[in-house]
């Protein structure tokens, strides 16, 4: 999509770099803050795109239903989850919070909040484009075909829009099955994905979103170019911090 190029990096990189510096600072003060090695590609599961938005099509439905795909680097994810758990339960006396705040003020890059706000601005434009796309006649008309396609196959009340699939009762049931989709879930997800295609909804929404994003890029080009330039510079600095401070795998 046209706006995607202006989202340079996931927030995980800046957070990881900051935590590495926090670890150095807190260790000097006598606290244990063992930040683990992380795969700094920070790749999303296979059913998400490069900027963290969820994808859904027949191939994805056949593999995972409505569930998320497995984490690309489970070892890196496991280490980070253990680190977060250890820090969330940290108890080291009444002075810890004060010293933690002092370290944070020392290590936090003043541009981090600005870069985060700028990324949120771009994501806000993407949300605006989606809202505009959903009002287009071709998208609204194709919804009827999608709903009829599913209603002809299933007895539950089909939601108003595909993004609300599966319905809440089924969503709760599917989630209770654990991290792997059941055969029932996959069957429904595949039918849903095929209906999105056959009704023309998926293609109509994609075209409408593309057009809406193109308009927003043209209207905000100068600001978006500046956001991207600043994000690239910030990313370069964060990579240098990680290279100098990260532990070995």
Q: What angle do CA 224, 45, 179 make, to 5 degrees?
A: 140
Structure pTM?
Answer: 0.88
Residue 48: strand pairing partners: 54
User: How crowded is the C-beta side of 121, counted as CA atoms within 13 Å?
Assistant: 18
Give mean pLDDT, residues 81-92: 83
Per residue in 153-175, pLDDT (tens digit) is: 999 999 999 999 999 999 999 99
Give mean pLDDT, residues 104-129: 95
Q: What is the rounded average pLDDT for all residues in the chain?
A: 94
pLDDT of residue 140: 97
Q: Give me the residue spans of the domains in the chain.
A: 4-245
pLDDT of residue 10: 73
Give mean pLDDT, residues 74-79: 95
Per residue in 202-220, pLDDT (tens digit) is: 999 999 999 999 999 999 9
């Amino acid at each position: 999509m046209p706006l995607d190029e202006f989202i340079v990096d996931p927030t995980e990189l800046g957070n990881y770099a900051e935590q590495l510096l926090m670890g150095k600072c807190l260790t000097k003060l006598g606290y244990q803050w063992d930040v683990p090695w992380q795969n700094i590609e920070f790749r999303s599961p296979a059913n998400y795109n490069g900027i963290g938005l969820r994808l859904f099509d027949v191939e994805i439905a056949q593999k995972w239903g409505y569930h998320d795909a497995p984490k690309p680097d489970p070892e890196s994810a496991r280490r980070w989850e253990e680190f977060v758990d250890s820090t969330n339960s940290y108890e080291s006396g009444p002075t810890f919070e004060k010293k933690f705040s002092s370290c944070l003020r020392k290590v936090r890059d003043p541009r981090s909040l600005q870069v985060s706000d700028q990324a949120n601005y771009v994501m806000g434009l993407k949300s605006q484009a989606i809202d505009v796309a959903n009002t287009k006649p071709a998208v609204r008309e194709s919804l009827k075909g999608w709903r009829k396609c599913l209603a002809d196959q299933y007895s539950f009340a089909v939601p108003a829009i595909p993004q609300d699939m599966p319905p809440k009762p089924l969503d709760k049931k599917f989630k209770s099955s654990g991290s792997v989709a059941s055969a029932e879930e996959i069957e429904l997800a595949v039918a849903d994905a095929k209906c999105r295609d056959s009704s023309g909804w998926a293609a109509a929404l994609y075209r409408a979103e593309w057009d809406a994003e193109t308009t927003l890029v043209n209207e905000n080009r100068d600001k978006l170019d500046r956001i991207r330039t600043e994000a690239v510079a910030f990313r370069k600095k964060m990579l240098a911090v990680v290279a100098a401070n990260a532990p070995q795998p």
